[in-house]
Structure 1
């Protein structure tokens, strides 16, 4: 056991520096850690509980987020409605961007919810988020397994815990999208690849282990197309280059494995190619994938270096320890296991930096390598910390634990004129724990600091996701419009919207929500029956001009004011109905 680890255990047990801690207390703490990481069931149970503590707050209470999450969820809702499990559509538009895997998982979650009697299950966004929660659990538990041959049990356990605590993992675990589940499958493949890499010359993997590699890769293709092969392929290529030979890859049984991966992924791709007459590949590959390679899409273009810059925020609370670890990791760079982690993270990271389209979740599959490297440093790094890097590391700790809660309180004032009172106790607790963690780090107790800031991150997420974010009413315009439509006395009205076309409004109301302009909204209401129109203020002039003389005259039900989460534009939406008052 390293001197740093001994000091950290003593500090965690409440001993003063230089106070000669009791060997019994220190050894008991170390024994508890060793027992946890050596018993697979206990280790997995602890990590699952950690993921749930970090990622559950807000799952049920945060409304659907525009635009990607709401698009995924609405496309799944239509799959449930139509029972067409091949084609992917958003209203009448084909959604040929990503493969079907995540939609099938979300469909299963919603169907189980309906079978269990969940009220209005098809419009409960938390059901659609469950596959992402499962993906996060898979990713964290798999990383604790994948990292063992590379960094050892304790470092792999700490690295997996770090992954669970990062802001980026927490965000993706709460969104009904592809990336959390994709990460879990990639880590499974990388864990098998790592075992083949570190094996002695000519070593073989068991058949079941090889099958796991290709099965996870095939499922990854079904979730997000080329992303899993890209990450795993880049790792294998550069690991072979670093090892100066590639025969170890034969342990994966590539011929059998490729057939298995094709058997998993190919049937749906063939079916969608036939059903769409090739349009799926034209749009998903020709427009979406290649378009992102060549130019910034959907206003997400950014120069090289952006991922490296934002990583210090998105990987908090682990990023301060990663910063301190960099000199040691550089010294370890020629070790065989460290070369595998470099092959995992660095080449693909450089490619992503060169691609014009920049989205934070693109770097998520590379983060586990950084977590394992940081875990190795926390366990085996030299006892003396780099003083030049200690200042910015402590500042990073405090920025997340003190600055973010204050920003959440300020957001309440800025958006709604009132803070989240439920979040404030968590903000105080988070700040206190953050200062406590910074003190431990400043005194050289890095593992103690890691534990303390980990607890601080849990209280931060509980406050921000559990209270502050759901209570920002100004952001949740679609939820308030849907509630206004449900209040119409005639029941189950036909709906139209003008000036506000966010996917979340479709998901929370009706698949046949009509998208129109101001004059079209007036004509829509004139058709009679139980109808509601949402008219944004920019379209009210055309609406007023077209509704003159309409019978029955549209009645203003309410107005919904807020902020569009995409772009920050102020919104003022009138809700009109033809239903009579009761």
Structure 2
């Protein structure tokens, strides 16, 4: 006769089952580098692909980058950077070249429609984000076992902020990739004993090429992460001898050889205007004042990290006591010199944007994995157990916010998303509940599985269906339906960069009187007029004796302006000249 298992024992076995299976997967994947890489790529794709293809262009940065690349392809000018009718002298050329190469490859496969496909402009960010996860693994191998390095890289793969940047056609995922590559090479040079610090051409090539790529992508920002770290290490060691394997003089010459041609060319083409705006206005403005309203006091990034580095921030918080106790140990010292100086610099800077500190998150992940591998979290025990309840707490808050936003901005009830959100929250609750019995590794891996479900619900199902947010996409659909060329379309005051990208470079951004004058020319012509300015448009139209009619009204919410809007699309009834 079978012996009945007590209900409490069954419940305990159920609680342990999934975390233990996930730890077993971690163990199996860490047996070989190939398996580890396959697991990391698979998790990164699960984390980054939802919404990648069907999410509309995001205003304003992504749409500006994509449109500037689009105009580069249209004009054939791969030196100067233009957005619509204006010069875009903010960031160097690197990201535009990468996006242009991606779109050109797309044109070879899917034809001319590639230029209007935002996902092709996002591919460099996606590949760079996956590469950043793999480079975190490569860098962590300097200090950790294969298993610990794999765990650190999984922490990066699940990071909220990296998932956001992987889906946006802008610079930050690519910058992260280049910065981690430099630190991976620097770490290998740093841990060498003094007697083995001869020049290493391979390490030097990786370090200086990655630094040059970072400069071409985001100017002085890449050195802003690497330089303070090197200075801090040199101060801590009272020596800069660890740089010898990187061949500083030869490497610096190689770096300059890679970056100077474009920087000289853009100076000539713009007569120095690029530097006046990029350095004098854009960069210095962000340091001295809150550019575009993105101001924040010191401590902003510390608070933001609880959301942007979630769910990994829980592990990082629990690792703090171990890191502090062992701050003089070689691995911890290196990682702190990567993390702390740059973080302090960005906390001091007046302009605050969450993605600015993304390149130091790998150091947080590796420090956390180091603490786990060396038993630092086990020693902390129950004192830190309360942190794990931040996993389900944050998930519930985000799910409620997403659900409310979907009900307000979306269409229908979105039945497909709710089971995913619920299951994700359950897994995160399960992770917190099982932590005392399975330890931090099993608990985190369970939390990561729950987070992936939340990302799937948010990015793939909910955000694309919040139709009220995607005004440009809906206006562009009207243009396609009416069959009018972009040069015969005017818009006021809604003039978001995404509208230029989706409708066409020749779209006209002007005042209501200019929109009325455009329609008076006749032919297939459209005007997008916000309801607040419809009386002004009608006044000018009457003065011109314009014949026109309304073909659609697009109501929605401008997430940049933070207000509801209603835009009427007027079509000319005038005969073409």
TM-score range, shorter chain: over 0.9
Among 182, 185, 189, the alignment partner of 2:178 is: 185
For residues 361-380 of structure 1, the aligned pairs below 5 Å read: 361-380=355-374
TM-score, normalising length: structure 2? 0.93
Question: Equivalent residue for 2:54?
Answer: 61
Among 124, 131, 149, the alignment partner of 1:138 is: 131
Alignment partners' CA distance in 2, 1:508 and 1:361: 26
Please say if 1:310 is aligned against 2:272. Answer: no
In the TM superposition, what is the alpha-carbon distance from 1:149 to its structure 2 partner?
A: 1.4
Alignment partners' CA distance in 1, 2:114 and 2:488: 20
Question: Equivalent residue for 2:531?
Answer: 537
Among 466, 470, 480, the alignment partner of 2:460 is: 466
Please say if 1:120 is aligned against 2:116. Answer: no
Among 479, 494, 513, the alignment partner of 1:485 is: 479
Change in 2 beyond 3 A, CA 1:521/1:156: same
In the TM superposition, what is the alpha-carbon distance from 1:297 to its structure 2 partner?
A: 0.4
Please say if 1:503 is aligned against 2:497. Answer: yes
Q: List per-residue Cα deviations over 1:38-68 (Å, max 9, x = no partner).
A: 5332222221111111001000111001000
Q: SS state of the match for residue 574, structure 1?
A: strand
Q: SS state of the match for residue 272, structure 1?
A: helix
Question: Equivalent residue for 1:428?
Answer: 422
Question: Equivalent residue for 1:399?
Answer: 393
Change in 2 beyond 3 A, CA 1:62/1:31: closer
Q: SS state of the match for residue 338, structure 1?
A: helix
Please say if 1:569 is aligned against 2:567. Answer: no
Q: List per-residue Cα deviations over 1:224-279 (Å, max 9, x = no partner).
A: 00111111111111112122211121221011101111111111101000000001
Q: SS state of the match for residue 535, structure 1?
A: strand
Question: Equivalent residue for 2:210?
Answer: 216
Q: List per-residue Cα deviations over 1:163-221 (Å, max 9, x = no partner).
A: 11010000011100000011011101100101111111132353112111101111110
Question: Equivalent residue for 1:281?
Answer: 275
> 2:228·2:342 contact (CA, 8 Å) conserved in 1?
yes
Question: Equivalent residue for 1:328?
Answer: 322
Question: Equivalent residue for 1:5?
Answer: none
Among 71, 86, 92, the alignment partner of 1:93 is: 86
Q: SS state of the match for residue 482, structure 2?
A: coil
**Structure with greater helix percent:** 2
Task: Output the aligned Cα RMSD.
Answer: 2.3
> 2:23·2:442 contact (CA, 8 Å) conserved in 1?
no
Question: Equivalent residue for 2:192?
Answer: 199
> 2:22·2:446 contact (CA, 8 Å) conserved in 1?
no
In the TM superposition, what is the alpha-carbon distance from 1:118 to its structure 2 partner?
A: 4.9
In the TM superposition, what is the alpha-carbon distance from 1:322 to its structure 2 partner?
A: 1.2
Change in 2 beyond 3 A, CA 1:552/1:544: closer
Q: List per-residue Cα deviations over 1:477-522 (Å, max 9, x = no partner).
A: 0000000111115666721101101100000001011111122211
5+ long unaligned stretches in structure 2: 1-9
> 1:555·1:577 contact (CA, 8 Å) conserved in 2?
yes
Question: Equivalent residue for 1:7?
Answer: none
> 2:139·2:184 contact (CA, 8 Å) conserved in 1?
yes
> 2:126·2:167 contact (CA, 8 Å) conserved in 1?
yes
TM-score, normalising length: structure 1? 0.92
Question: Equivalent residue for 2:6?
Answer: none
Question: Equivalent residue for 2:145?
Answer: 152
Question: Equivalent residue for 1:249?
Answer: 243
Question: Equivalent residue for 1:390?
Answer: 385
> 2:486·2:503 contact (CA, 8 Å) conserved in 1?
no
Change in 2 beyond 3 A, CA 1:370/1:115: same
